[in-house]
């Protein structure tokens, strides 16, 4: 530590740089989308704060906001929000070259001197007294190799060199320089200065101490008032350096201002440092320096020499950083998308199995209002592999309700929804593995001619292959009959199946129970693309003997038939309240995530909210219901349970057995003959028995005059 009267040359601790990755990403975006080959200098803002740790100095940092946004005019400085105590703004300039050769060819000393000239002009014009932030500047030269994501760069912090150098008379911890009363008052005054939104980021200031030991902190422009009062005066600055024997770099230009502007020969300075956000006079330093400069210093035309290029491991060479792994937009998108899920695992949901979600293959049958919303929700949960099947085109009425489409998709008759949806998903999240299938689903009640049979059977086989190659199937189509064939195929393959259906102001979300036969191969024996390692642990055998959960058709007593013919306009369109689809879609995806994280998987029993017997709240995601029915008029939601029916036209053992025996011929017969499914399942006989049932009326019932009872 320097002692009083030592007379040594005052030496300053160099400022160090730190660049956030967001800065390089913003620079890359500007270079690609705005600047192009224009290599004009770019205004930037750096940030620093006073030292806050006894063993670590603060760096001058560049962040994404250090650069202007894409919409700003390139001639203006980046917008800096003032009043942030942790971000004292430092104006600067960036020279980003187009080639590595151009980077090496830059006149580095000339650029440094040009920035020093700006500081010198601000000192002589008085601007540095009015806005002391301009006393510090940052110069950055760089070359951004956007093909390999290599960034070559070199920082300079321009400083005016005193000639001759300042002589250090005294330097000691501030706590040893002040009396106890003065120290307490100085700490209080500095804390108030730092905590005020007006002065928190003003890095150069005056500390005056009266004869009564009362301290005050003032702006530099108040110097004359402080001198008239005959008080002790210290020139204070936020010191980013932690060293006990050296003040930080910002003092260099501060001394230049004091000498050139006020012609002072002896200067007492305070290197202000903090601990936990409050003034720390043990860490802060108070020093006294003698300044002897030539007469020409008071002339603006005589610019002092400039120093300030940052050393790299003790050498005057640039730095290089490779950000290929983090700067590629797709990788950045993946990182950002996964952030919320990974943070969920910290405390809220430690058992969240991201591997299952990342490897899951989901097939969405229907790319309309529900399909668009379900796809978005799946991506939010980390699902990367999504297939959408639909044969419709985007109509003018779709974009407002179907979130993956825009007006551009409606031109020239409209793009196919499946392909337009995939384009949109890829724009939202480039890493998604999305595929669009343009295909109609064969439906019972919609007979086909002999000429169409081959095409329909090919569609049936293709749908079967799609279901077989995916892990989860969402039924999101507009009509009831379009859900029949997928339900049958899913029951045959024991696939996780989720149905979402909308009314005008009500909705149904349900998970289908497992198929009637559990003899299909375990998922481990499926193709590797079917599900990755995490999915192998789901249980696929029903060992408790419980009733199967029903499918979408289990409560029907008639076979699905043509519901599209002879419909009015409001019946041709899916007329629902706009808020219904997002609610139902979100619940459908949440239901899937619950199945994936339940130890029994597809065979998990149904749980009902507020039931004394149901509801396993020990599971991390809560209960796992069978059906969720909601009503917007009453803002109500219910969880219901429905067991499978032995006469179900889609999932009962009779129907699945017939399909396994006869294959596509069975499906073709179901399509062409509306009553075939009812005959096979026994529903025809059931309805015949119900029609023949006679009610015995009591003839003695008296009915009041003019009163009619209608049954």
Give ∠ CA 646-603-560 in degrees, rounded to 5. 40
So what's the pLDDT on residue 279?
95
Catalytic positions = 573
So what's the pLDDT on residue 540?
40
Token output for 355 = 């591997």
607: which DSSP letter? -
pLDDT of 664 higher than 50 = yes
Greatest distance between any 2 Cα atoms in the chain: 129
- The residue from 292, 308, 324 where one domain ends is 308
Between 122 and 609, residue with greater pLDDT: 122
* Mean pLDDT across 491-495: 94
Residues 492 and 628 in one domain: yes
Token output for 261 = 């502007």
Residues 485 and 626 in one domain: yes
Q: What CA–CA distances, in Å, run from 681 to 49, 447, 484, 578, 685? A: 78, 20, 14, 38, 9
Residues 602 and 464 in one domain: yes
Burial of 9-28, coded b for 16+ CB within 10 Å and e otherwise, reads: ebebbbbbbebeeebbbbbb
CATH number of the domain enclosing 300: 3.40.140.100
Residue 701 lies in a domain: no
Residues 277 and 224 in one domain: yes
Query: Total domain count for the chain?
Result: 3
Residue 643 lies in a domain: yes
pLDDT of 104 higher than 60 = yes
- The domain containing residue 273 runs over which residues? 167-308
- Which SS3 state, helix, strand or coil, does residue 631 take? strand
So what's the pLDDT on residue 330?
74
So what's the pLDDT on residue 321?
93
Residue 318 lies in a domain: no
* Mean pLDDT across 439-449: 91
Distance, in Å, from the CA atom of 355 to the CA atom of 480, rounded to the nearest integer, reads 34
Residue 1 lies in a domain: no
Residue pLDDT, tens place only, 619-636: 678 899 999 999 999 999
Residues 487 and 582 in one domain: yes
Token output for 371 = 């399909």
Token output for 312 = 């790299």
Residue 675 lies in a domain: yes
The pLDDT mean for the chain works out to 86
Residue 76 lies in a domain: no
pLDDT of 701 higher than 70 = no
Between 527 and 338, residue with greater pLDDT: 338
Residues 110 and 142 in one domain: yes
Whether cis (ω within 30° of 0) applies to the bond prior to 341 is no
Contact predicate 304/162, CB 8 Å? yes
Residue 336 lies in a domain: no
Between 522 and 321, residue with greater pLDDT: 321
Phi, psi dihedral angles at 323 (to 5 degrees)? -120, 30
Residues 260 and 287 in one domain: yes
Residue 39, class by beta-carbon neighbours within 10 Å (0-12 exposed, 13-18 middle, 19+ buried)? middle
pTM: 0.58
* Cβ count near 170 (within 10 Å): 16
* Mean pLDDT across 663-692: 85
So what's the pLDDT on residue 666?
93
Between 84 and 150, residue with greater pLDDT: 150
Residue pLDDT, tens place only, 357-373: 999 999 999 999 999 99
Contact predicate 67/113, CB 8 Å? no
pLDDT of 179 higher than 50 = yes
* Mean pLDDT across 441-469: 93
Residues 143 and 174 in one domain: no
Residues 152 and 171 in one domain: no
- The residue from 124, 157, 190 where one domain ends is 157
Which DSSP string do the residues of 409-475 spell out, in sequence order?
A: GGGGG--BHHHHHHHHHHHH-TT-EEEEE--PPP-TT----HHHHHHHHHHHHHHHHHHHH-SEEEE
So what's the pLDDT on residue 23?
94
Residue pLDDT, tens place only, 187-235: 999 999 999 989 999 999 999 999 899 999 999 999 888 877 678 899 9
CATH number of the domain enclosing 651: 3.40.50.720
So what's the pLDDT on residue 561?
80
Residue 28 lies in a domain: yes
- The residue from 105, 130, 157 where one domain ends is 157
* Mean pLDDT across 47-60: 94
Residue 38 C-beta-side C-alpha neighbours within 13 Å: 13
Residues 151 and 171 in one domain: no
So what's the pLDDT on residue 537?
41
- Residue 701 CA, chain-centre distance (Å), reads 71
- Which SS3 state, helix, strand or coil, does residue 669 take? helix
CATH number of the domain enclosing 137: 3.40.140.70
Residues 139 and 174 in one domain: no
Which DSSP string do the residues of 17-77 spell out, in sequence order?
A: EEE-HHHHHHHHHHIIIIITT----EEEEEEE----BTTBPPPEEE-GGGS--TTS-TTSP
Residues 145 and 207 in one domain: no
pLDDT of 696 higher than 70 = no
pLDDT of 532 higher than 60 = no
So what's the pLDDT on residue 78?
67
pLDDT of 43 higher than 60 = yes
Q: Nearest-CA neighbor of 370 among 590, 578, 635?
A: 578
């Amino acid at each position: 530590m320097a002692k009083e009267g030592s007379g040594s040359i005052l030496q300053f601790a160099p400022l160090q740089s730190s660049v956030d990755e967001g800065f390089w990403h913003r620079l890359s975006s500007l270079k690609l989308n705005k600047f192009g080959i224009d290599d004009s200098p770019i205004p930037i803002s750096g940030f620093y704060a006073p030292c806050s740790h006894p063993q670590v100095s603060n760096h001058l940092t560049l962040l994404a906001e250090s650069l202007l946004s894409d919409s700003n005019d390139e001639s203006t400085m980046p917008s800096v929000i003032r009043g942030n105590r942790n971000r004292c703004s430092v104006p600067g300039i960036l020279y980003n070259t187009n080639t590595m050769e151009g980077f090496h060819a830059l006149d580095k000393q000339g650029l440094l001197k040009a920035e020093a000239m700006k500081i010198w002009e601000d000192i002589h014009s008085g601007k540095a007294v009015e806005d002391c932030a301009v006393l510090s500047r940052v110069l950055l030269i760089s070359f951004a190799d956007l093909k390999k994501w290599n960034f070559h760069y070199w920082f300079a912090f321009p400083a005016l060199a005193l000639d001759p150098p300042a002589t250090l008379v005294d330097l000691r911890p501030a706590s040893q320089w002040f009396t106890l009363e003065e120290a307490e008052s100085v700490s209080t005054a500095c804390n108030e200065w730092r905590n005020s939104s007006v002065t928190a980021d003003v890095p150069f200031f005056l500390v005056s101490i009266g004869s009564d030991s009362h301290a005050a902190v003032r702006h530099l422009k108040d110097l004359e008032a402080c001198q008239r009062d005959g008080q002790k005066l210290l020139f204070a600055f936020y010191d980013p350096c932690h060293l006990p024997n050296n003040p930080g770099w910002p003092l260099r230009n501060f001394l230049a201002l004091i000498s050139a502007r006020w012609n002072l020969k002896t200067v007492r300075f305070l290197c202000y440092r903090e601990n936990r956000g409050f003034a720390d006079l043990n860490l802060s330093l108070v020093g006294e320096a003698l300044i002897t400069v030539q007469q020409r210093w008071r002339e603006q035309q005589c610019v002092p020499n400039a120093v300030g290029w940052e050393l790299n491991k003790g050498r005057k060479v640039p730095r290089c950083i490779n950000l290929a792994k983090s700067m590629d937009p797709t990788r950045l998108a993946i990182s950002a998308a996964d952030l919320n899920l990974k943070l969920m695992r910290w405390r809220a949901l430690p058992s969240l199995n991201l591997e299952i979600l990342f490897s899951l293959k989901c097939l969405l049958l229907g790319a309309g209002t529900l399909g668009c919303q379900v796809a978005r929700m799946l991506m939010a949960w980390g699902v990367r592999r999504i297939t959408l099947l639909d044969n419709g085109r985007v109509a003018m009425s779709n974009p407002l309700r179907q979130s993956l489409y825009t007006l551009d998709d409606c031109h020239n008759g409209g793009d196919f929804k499946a392909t337009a949806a995939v384009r949109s998903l890829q724009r939202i999240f480039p890493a998604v593995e999305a595929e669009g299938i343009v295909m109609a689903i064969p439906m019972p009640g919609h007979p086909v001619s002999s000429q169409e049979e081959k095409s329909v059977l090919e569609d049936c086989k293709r749908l079967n292959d799609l279901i077989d190659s995916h892990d989860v199937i969402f039924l999101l189509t507009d009509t009831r009959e379009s859900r029949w064939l997928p339900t049958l195929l899913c029951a045959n393959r024991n696939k996780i199946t989720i149905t979402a259906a909308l009314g005008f102001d009500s909705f149904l979300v349900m998970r289908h129970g497992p198929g009637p036969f559990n003899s299909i191969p375990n998922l481990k024996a499926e193709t590797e693309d079917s599900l990755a390692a995490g999915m192998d642990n789901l249980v696929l055998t029903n060992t408790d003997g419980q009733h199967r959960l029903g499918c979408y058709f289990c409560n029907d007593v008639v076979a699905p038939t043509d519901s599209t013919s002879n419909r009015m306009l409001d019946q041709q369109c899916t007329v629902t309240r706009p808020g219904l689809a997002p609610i139902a879609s979100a619940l459908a995806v949440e239901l899937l995530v619950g199945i994936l994280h339940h130890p029994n998987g597809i065979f998990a029993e149904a749980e009902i909210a507020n039931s004394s017997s149901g509801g396993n709240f020990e599971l991390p995601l809560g209960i796992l219901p069978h059906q969720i029915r909601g009503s917007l008029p009453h803002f109500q939601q219910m969880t219901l349970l429905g067991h499978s029916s032995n006469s179900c036209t889609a999932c009962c053992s009779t129907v699945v057995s017939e399909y396994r025996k006869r294959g596509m011929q069975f499906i073709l017969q179901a399509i062409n003959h509306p009553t075939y499914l009812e005959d096979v399942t026994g529903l025809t006989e059931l309805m015949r028995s119900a029609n023949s049932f006679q009610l015995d009326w009591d003839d003695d019932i008296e009915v009041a005059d003019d009163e009619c009872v209608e049954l």
